[in-house]
């Protein structure tokens, strides 16, 4: 996973206000890889996974997910009072690249970098 972790680290550090970047497997409901500005404890990793899965299963779920649970929409942005979450499904519709930022982070820059990183991550995956 070193290549993917390098890409995630570069993504997170390239966004002013980047906090966490990770790759989530929606089918297995697991974190494939996650990096943070600070040490990512097991508790933080679990919270990241929970927030990602909940964000993808919010009220408009029927607009995002097909009958088999695959993502119909490739991108989702959600924000709460403190954070913004940018998520992009990879081509398999199962793995999702996620960037968590401070709410003040530039959304355009965040999306641009997330999309570029998604392409790089897909090359590294089996």
Number of domains in the chain: 1
Q: Locate tokens 């997330």: which residue? A: 114
pTM score of the predicted model = 0.82
Residue 73 CB coordination number (10 Å): 13
Token output for 13: 């550090």
Quick one: which of 88, 89, 86, 96 has its CA closest to 12? Answer: 86
Number of H helices, E strands in the chain: 4, 5
Residue 30 CB coordination number (10 Å): 11
CATH number at residue 113: 3.30.450.30
Range of the domain at 75: 2-124
**CA 85, CA 66: separation in Å to the nearest integer?**
21
Quick one: which of 45, 35, 40, 32 has its CA closest to 14? Answer: 35
Quick one: which of 117, 1, 99, 104 has its CA closest to 51? Answer: 99
Predicted pLDDT of residue 64: 47
Token output for 120: 């790089």
pLDDT tens, residue order, the chain (126 aa): 579 999 999 999 999 999 999 999 988 989 999 999 888 888 888 888 887 787 777 645 444 444 455 545 678 888 888 888 899 989 888 899 999 999 999 999 999 999 999 999 999 888
Q: Locate tokens 């519709």: which residue? A: 93
Quick one: which of 93, 87, 89 has its CA closest to 110? Answer: 87
């Amino acid at each position: 996973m070193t290549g993917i972790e390098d890409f995630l680290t570069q993504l997170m550090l390239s966004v002013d206000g980047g906090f966490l970047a990770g790759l989530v497997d929606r089918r297995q409901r697991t974190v494939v890889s996650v990096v943070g500005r600070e040490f990512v404890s097991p508790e933080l990793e679990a919270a990241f996974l929970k927030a990602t899965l909940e964000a993808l299963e919010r009220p408009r779920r029927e607009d995002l997910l097909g009958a088999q649970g695959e993502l119909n929409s490739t991108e989702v942005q959600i924000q709460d009072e403190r954070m913004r979450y940018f998520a992009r499904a990879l081509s398999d519709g199962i793995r999702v690249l996620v960037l968590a930022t401070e709410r003040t982070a530039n959304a355009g820059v965040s999306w641009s970098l997330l999309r570029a990183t998604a392409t790089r991550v897909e090359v590294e995956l089996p």
